[in-house]
Amino acid sequence: MKQKYDFLPRKLTKEEIALAPADWIRVLSNYSRRRKKAIKETKPGFNTLLTILMAAIAKRDKHLIDVATELTKENVPRYIYLGLVSSVLCYFGAKEESSAMLREAVKLNPSHTMLLALAGDTKDLDEKESLAKKVLSENPKDGDALSHLAYAKYFKGEREEAMQLIDKVLLNEPRNVNALEHKGNIYFDKKEYGKALEQYLKIDWRPKPISLQLKICHCYYLLGMLRKAKKIAKKIQGKISLAYELEMEVEKANKLLADVLNKT
């Protein structure tokens, strides 16, 4: 093994993967295969960049981002470097730097992939909607674009249209993760916990992100299915504060789990 790769873990644990941001779950599941490709690169390039960033997320080591930059920045297209690094930096709290890098990447390469990455990053609902529509103007069936548009519509108060868009995605892509989770969230907001649970359980992630397990646990609890709720609560208790993405505040999440486990 090349000396410069000694710092990379040989494999990632299921727990490390489950704690990762949802968008990285499938990527991290292929870590060992990607690592082998990185080792074979004559010059540290795309595979090395991605592998080190995967390790940075899983091991919660921001220093590895600097290592990835030093080794690969000159060997991969700049928009790819900016896009990948920006997507990791945001999870370490560098939101402004991450957004600036992503916007530069989009200027360099305004492809559908980059436009949708920006749509997922921006908090501006009008911009999110505009970016989604730009992609849909060329590819009306793009599931991710439809999902981003549905998100913007929902939080702008156009909830019926948002649900129609999500159903359109699921008609063509029954296993679309973003659409399934968003539909579940809508049902949860409407206090239709059984329907919300149905959508969450359809999400085929292995392993399931801690954030999703928390939602499933919450639904079981509210539906009075205590045995199932407690089983999940025991599993994820103590890990909540380590999860990258939670739609619920950590303090509230821990209180929910405590309530579940103390319920008789």
Q: Provide the 3-class DSSP secondary structure of residue 216.
A: helix
The domain total for the chain is 3
* 12 and 83, same domain (yes or no): yes
CA dist list (Å): 189 to 76, 130, 159, 193: 43, 25, 11, 9
24 and 57 Cβ atoms separated by less than 8 Å: yes
How many residues are recorded in the chain?
264
Q: Is 42 exposed, middle or buried (0-12, 13-18, 19+ CB in 10 A)?
A: exposed
Cα distance between residue 231 and residue 215, in whole Å: 13
Domain closes at, from 83, 109, 135:
109
200 within domain boundaries: no
* Higher-scoring residue by pLDDT: 133, 237: 133
CB 85 within 8 A of CB 66: no
The CATH number for 128's domain is 1.25.40.10
Tell me, yes or no, whether 67 and 168 share the same domain.
no
Question: Contact at 8 Å (CB) between 103 and 118?
Answer: yes
- The domain boundary, picked from 84, 109, 134, lies at 109
Same domain for 103 and 136: no
| Residue 102 and residue 14 in one domain | yes
Let me know whether 104 and 26 are in one domain.
yes
**What confidence category does residue 140 fall into, taking pLDDT thresholds of 50, 70 and 90?**
very high
Residues 103 and 128 in one domain: no
Specify the 3-state DSSP secondary structure of 208.
Answer: coil
Whether 196 is covered by a domain: the verdict is no
Q: Residue 4's pLDDT is what?
A: 61
Q: Per-residue confidence at 163, pLDDT binned at 50, 70, 90?
A: very high
Residue 233 structural domain: 205-264
Residues 44 and 64 in one domain: yes
Is there a single domain that holds both residue 173 and residue 237?
Answer: no
18 touches 209 (CB < 8 A): yes
In whole angstroms, give the CA distance from residue 42 to residue 26. Answer: 26
Shared domain for 60 and 148, answered yes or no, is: no
Q: Is residue 195 part of a domain?
A: no
**Residue that is last in its domain, among 51, 80, 109:** 109
- Please report the pLDDT score of residue 18 as a whole number: 87
Q: Does some domain include residue 105?
A: yes
The reply to whether 133 and 81 lie within a common domain is no
136 & 56 share domain: no
Tell how far CA 247 is from the center of its chain.
Answer: 12
Shared-domain flag, residues 161 and 219: no
- Asked if the structure places residue 198 within a domain, the reply is no
168 pLDDT exceeds 90?
A: yes
Q: Is residue 12 part of a domain?
A: yes
Query: Who has greater pLDDT, 130 or 23?
Result: 130
The string of pLDDT tens digits covering residues 71-116 is: 999 999 999 999 999 999 988 889 999 999 999 999 999 999 999 9
- For residue 43, give the amino acid letter: K
Q: What is the pLDDT of residues 217-227, one digit of tens each?
A: 999 999 999 99
Query: Considering the domain boundaries, does residue 197 fall inside one?
Result: no
Contacts 24+ apart (CB under 8 A), 46-54: 46/72, 46/76, 46/80, 48/5, 48/72, 49/76, 49/80, 49/81, 49/84, 50/84, 51/8, 52/8, 53/84, 53/85, 53/88, 54/12, 54/24, 54/27, 54/28
Q: Is residue 194 part of a domain?
A: no
SS3 180: helix
